[in-house]
Structure 1
Amino acid sequence: MSNLNLSLAMGDYDRTRPIYDGRVKIDGVDPVCMLLSPEEMFFRAFRHQAFDISELSLSSYSISVARGEPHYVAVPIFLSRAFRHTSIYIRTDKGISTPADLRGRRIGIAEYQLSANVWVRGILKDEYGLGAEDIVWVRGGMNTAGRPEKIKVDLPPNVKVEEAPQGATLNAMLAAGEIDGFIGPRAPLCYDEEHPHVGRLFTDSIGAAEDYFRRTAIFPIMHVLGVRRRLADEHPWLPGALLKAFTRSKAMSDAALADTSATKVTMPFVEDNLRRARNLMGNDIWSYGVDQNRKVLETFLGYHYEQGLSPRKVDVNELFHPATLESFSL
């Protein structure tokens, strides 16, 4: 029997590179790999189901599951994770110095449903008592005007979302002081260009994230791996094969990161930062699998429902193919 020839869209990460370059094989699959940006992958996957296997936004995927119309089924491979204390940008000349100062402000977002934005809103609510209804959300493209939501969302009436003016970008609005801040997974260009009045809300974002993890044990999940549901039904071995291969691929990247005889990443202090992270989070700092991430996923799904993105609260096990919820042991 010949292998399945399947399209595979994913980001260009150290944890995916052994799949892309062929050092790690997927049992029964000859993948046609495409290394794409999250924006392109997710738009094509959710609008057109363009790939057989794809990295997916956890938030947009959760919407599809909650509505009972998922074209993909997830495998507990979390290709993107991040502490989102880095994701809140503010005008530093508008009297904003604490999260409480965001109340009543106009804050730009590229999409309400972005996983990063779900986490930020959840953290603002849990840690600082600031609900989604306490901010006016201004939705639009970051650097190009007119960005749509990948999946149409129906939000509660108390959540205030304005559309950015026609032809305007959130970056230009922030630079001009027409909005008070921006929340998202990418930094706005005006921040990268060191605009004198644009900064982060959390100036010590590493310290804030470390404190958050010590208290919650949560390392936020952004993206999952999804396989076309029809393919998983036809080939029930496929989700398990993906879990096996991507786990092996990440193990190779972990080993390479720890080998600092000649660092594998273009960054100084790798060994010190790796030791700092492992002292805080344990040796498996970027874990895959459901059981070891159940609290993180339950927290996210709770936020998702509370913020009006899910019409019902999704159970963690609903997200994943049954074959990936357990594994064999020797």
Structure 2
Amino acid sequence: MKLRVLLGDHPHTAALKSGAVTSDLVEMEFAAYTPTNKGFKPMVRDGAFDVSELAIVTFLMAKAYDKPMELLPDVMMARFQHGFAVTNPAAEIATPKDLEGKLVGIRSFTTTTGAWLRGILANDYGVDLDAINWITFEDPHVAEYIDTSTKAPAGKAIIRMLLDGELDAVLGEKSDDARLRRLFPDVAAEEQAWFVRHGVVPVNHVTVVSKDLSDNHPDIVREVHRMLHESRAAAVGQSPSFTDDELTRSLETIIKYSAQQCLIPRVYTVDELYDDVTLALR
């Protein structure tokens, strides 16, 4: 079976994408999107792929609107988030609480990095997210979601606005510009402290399959999972893997944060993200 596949260039996908991992059942036709997240919207809105990398918050929101896809227990990307928050020194933001009342830019209100950071700010630093003026630049991947944030003027660039003082802070971006400051001066210390408290590595991108593929070709879904697992094994030492317990804790945390931020209507159980076929692969 030939499958339409969207996967980024990661150490753990290299063997798969190079053809080093083969299958008698599956031929993968890889879509070319740079960056990979440009393919998330066609996956969610049009079902463009049989197998797709997808931001976890995009997937959660897609499930909320009954988009026909199921989760595989194959993480594509995970990272700590504290380094993706920068400020303009003129805004005098010394602590996370100082973000209240400020103009804060974010690429889209529904980005996964943004959801993780807002959850961290609210739950670990007591920030009132409703007291922040959110400025966004892109529409959500899930068309049904009603975004009430303020849109940046057309043609404006997020870091340029921060440098020009049109924004006080930005979430979801990094910058080495000496005119800007990190919200967390000692990022490594904050990340380590957060991990000690929560025992969670934040998952950013997961893997999904179409509901049609899972319903009608469970053997193909199992083969896709096998191929992903074999490709990851070929990258040992280059790409950390998740145990089921680690993935579950990470998913539970981002589900909670997404519900708190009204990105999804309620707190889902992790098992609800899988169907019978993909659940058996955990």
TM-score scaled by length of structure 2? 0.92
1:171 aligns with 2:159: yes
- Alpha carbons of 1:199 and 1:38: their partners in 2 closer, same or farther (altered >3 Å)? farther
State the AA in 2 paired with 1:178: E
| 1:1-330 mapped onto 2 (5 Å cutoff) | 4-26=1-23, 28-36=25-33, 37-67=35-65, 69-140=66-137, 147-152=138-143, 153-154=145-146, 161-184=149-172, 186-187=173-174, 191-192=175-176, 194=177, 196-255=178-237, 257=238, 285-287=240-242, 289=244, 291-327=245-281
Q: Distance in 2 between matches of 1:173 and 1:327?
A: 45
Contact 1:75 1:242 in 2 (8 A): no
**How many pairs does the alignment contain?**
280
Give the ranges of 4+ consecutive aligned residues of structure 1 lying more than 6 Å apart after TM superposition.
none
Contact 2:37 2:54 in 1 (8 A): no
- Alpha carbons of 1:26 and 1:209: their partners in 2 closer, same or farther (altered >3 Å)? farther
Shift of 1:35: 4.8
- Alpha carbons of 1:215 and 1:312: their partners in 2 closer, same or farther (altered >3 Å)? closer
Q: Distance in 1 between matches of 2:233 and 2:101?
A: 45
Contact 1:247 1:288 in 2 (8 A): no
Question: In terms of mean alpha carbon deviation, does 83-92 or 163-172 score higher?
Answer: 163-172
Residues 272-328 of structure 1, C-alpha deviations (whole Å, 9 max, x = no match): xxxxxxxxxxxx943154x44212111111111110111222221121232232359
Q: Distance in 2 between matches of 1:91 and 1:64?
A: 34
Task: Work out which structure has the larger RCO, using CA pairs closer than 8 Å and 6 or more positions apart in sequence.
Answer: 2
Shift of 1:5: 0.6
SS of 1:83's equivalent in the other structure is coil
Contact 2:258 2:264 in 1 (8 A): yes
- Alpha carbons of 1:27 and 1:218: their partners in 2 closer, same or farther (altered >3 Å)? farther
SS of 1:24's equivalent in the other structure is coil
Q: Distance in 1 between matches of 2:243 and 2:53?
A: 14
Gaps of 5+ in 2: none
State the AA in 2 paired with 1:115: T
Contact 1:10 1:41 in 2 (8 A): no
Structure ID, larger Rg: 1
Identity between Structure 1 and Structure 2 (%): 28
TM-score scaled by length of structure 1? 0.79
Contact 1:93 1:197 in 2 (8 A): no
Shift of 1:202: 1.4
Q: Distance in 2 between matches of 1:21 and 1:13?
A: 12
Shift of 1:130: 0.8
Contact 1:73 1:226 in 2 (8 A): yes
State the AA in 1 paired with 2:269: D
Residues 143-173 of structure 1, C-alpha deviations (whole Å, 9 max, x = no match): xxxx322113236xxxx72111233232221
Q: Distance in 2 between matches of 1:71 and 1:324?
A: 14
